[in-house]
């Protein structure tokens, strides 16, 4: 029923787009609308309510098992799938393509062969717009993913005071995330220590983590296709006054940012609220990225908060992740995945923010 209601909403969205049908080629969007997890699938959504799922022989059983009674399944090679779309297109004036996911070469191929009987129409965020608001099961799944990352980090944090390399700690944390029940990692875990922590995104190295180091850990768990995203900053031993300032600024910006998340407030307003904390002390140039982004079937999805004038609504899941990065000293970032509620937001990642280890 969940997938059927999503498909019904998609039909309405296709109608609003002005196209007669939409060719869904983004595999995440196909999964959202059908439940099919594959590396090769497309879904035709007609504004009259027709759905045709196209895939190859490797996913024959999965396609038939996941599809509802409202879906026709076509299994074949690329030529056979193209022929099926071409046959359908004879009754359309315009076929919508997911412009953000289709290359120029692919568009030309469709124009010359598959949909030669109708014109092609670029569309944006037809399915992604439906994915903006999560249902209760989606939120619960993201929360499960967050709890797994929380539990995994709790088990390995003591290692930070024992002199591991960044790579050794990353391997231990990655293994703990899987051992705690994740299907996979949400993304490549970031472990950045000492001067490396001043980089917003750092590729793990063989640098040894030691006393006096600032450490930024960014990790997440994947559960049933849904992601979590969390960052914590640590310091080995007693911090200096400058390090205390960096940690305190990141935490204060996080507190203000989370406090700003509520229905009706734009993503950009949340970004500005968090950023103002750092700017007010003359350190605005040390907050080098946006305050957050949506999380769901993709680790980065709409809404992308900085620059977004769209109001947040209940059920959206976003990150709040301000950071302060000082070259030659180190950096700190504090991040949680949160869900927008009627009166604010609720954290879906809950690990302690106490930064001192060792």
Give the model confidence (pLDDT) of 226-250 as tens digits: 999 999 999 999 999 999 999 999 9
* Residues 273-279: contacts with CB under 8 Å, at least 24 apart: 274/320, 274/322, 275/322, 277/249, 277/252, 277/253, 277/322, 278/249, 278/253, 278/322, 278/324
Domain topology for 2-131? Creatine Amidinohydrolase; Chain A, domain 1 (3.40.350)
Q: Which pLDDT does position 115 carry in this prediction?
A: 63
Distances in Å between the Cα of 55 and the Cα atoms of 36, 40, 78, 142 are 10, 6, 9, 28
* Domain extents in the chain: 2-131, 136-357
- Angle value at C-alpha 167, between 180 and 210, nearest 5 degrees: 105
Q: Which pLDDT does position 114 carry in this prediction?
A: 65
Q: Which pLDDT does position 52 carry in this prediction?
A: 95
Q: Which pLDDT does position 116 carry in this prediction?
A: 63
Q: How far apart are CA 33 and CA 35, in angstroms?
A: 6
pTM value? 0.95
- For 67-120, write each residue's pLDDT tens digit: 677 899 999 998 899 889 888 888 899 999 999 999 888 888 777 766 667 889
Q: How many CA atoms lie within 13 A of 202 on its CB side?
A: 27
Asked if the domains 2-131 and 136-357 are classified in one and the same CATH topology, the answer is: no
Are 234 and 355 within 8 A, CB to CB?
Answer: yes
CB atoms under 10 Å from CB of 231, counted, come to 23
Residue ranges in the chain whose pLDDT is less than 50: none
Look up the CATH architecture of domain 136-357: Alpha-Beta Complex (3.90)
């Amino acid at each position: 029923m969940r997938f059927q209601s999503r498909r019904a909403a998609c039909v309405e969205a296709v109608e609003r787009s002005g196209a007669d049908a939409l060719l869904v080629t983004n595999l995440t969007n196909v999964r959202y609308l059908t439940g099919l997890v594959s590396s090769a699938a497309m879904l035709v959504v007609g504004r009259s309510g027709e759905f045709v799922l196209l895939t190859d022989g490797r996913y024959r059983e999965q396609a038939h098992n996941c599809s509802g009674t409202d879906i026709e399944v076509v299994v074949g090679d690329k030529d056979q799938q193209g022929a099926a779309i071409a046959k359908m297109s004879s009754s359309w004036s315009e076929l919508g393509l997911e412009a953000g996911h289709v290359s120029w070469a692919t568009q030309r191929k469709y124009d010359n062969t598959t949909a030669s009987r109708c014109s092609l129409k670029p569309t944006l965020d037809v399915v992604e717009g439906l994915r903006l608001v999560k249902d209760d099961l989606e939120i619960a799944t993201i929360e499960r993913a967050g709890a797994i990352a929380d539990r995994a980090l709790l088990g390995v944090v003591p290692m930070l005071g024992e002199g591991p390399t960044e790579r050794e700690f990353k391997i231990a944390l990655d293994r703990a995330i899987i051992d705690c029940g994740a299907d996979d990692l949400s993304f490549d875990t970031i472990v950045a220590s000492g001067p490396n922590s001043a980089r917003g995104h750092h590729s793990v190295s063989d640098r040894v983590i030691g006393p006096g180091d600032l450490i930024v850990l960014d990790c997440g768990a994947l559960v049933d296709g849904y992601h979590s995203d969390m960052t914590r900053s640590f310091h080995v031993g007693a911090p200096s006054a400058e390090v205390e300032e960096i940690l305190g600024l990141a935490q204060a910006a996080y507190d203000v940012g989370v406090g700003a998340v509520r229905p009706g407030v734009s993503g950009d307003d949340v970004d500005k609220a968090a950023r103002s904390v750092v700017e007010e002390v003359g350190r605005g140039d040390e907050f080098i990225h946006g305050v957050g982004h949506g999380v769901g079937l993709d680790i980065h999805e709409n809404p992308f908060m900085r620059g977004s004038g769209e109001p947040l609504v209940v059920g959206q899941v976003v990150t709040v992740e301000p950071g302060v990065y000082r070259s030659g000293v180190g950096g700190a970032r504090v991040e949680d995945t949160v869900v927008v509620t009627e009166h604010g937001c609720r954290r879906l990642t809950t690990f302690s923010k106490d930064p001192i280890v060792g």
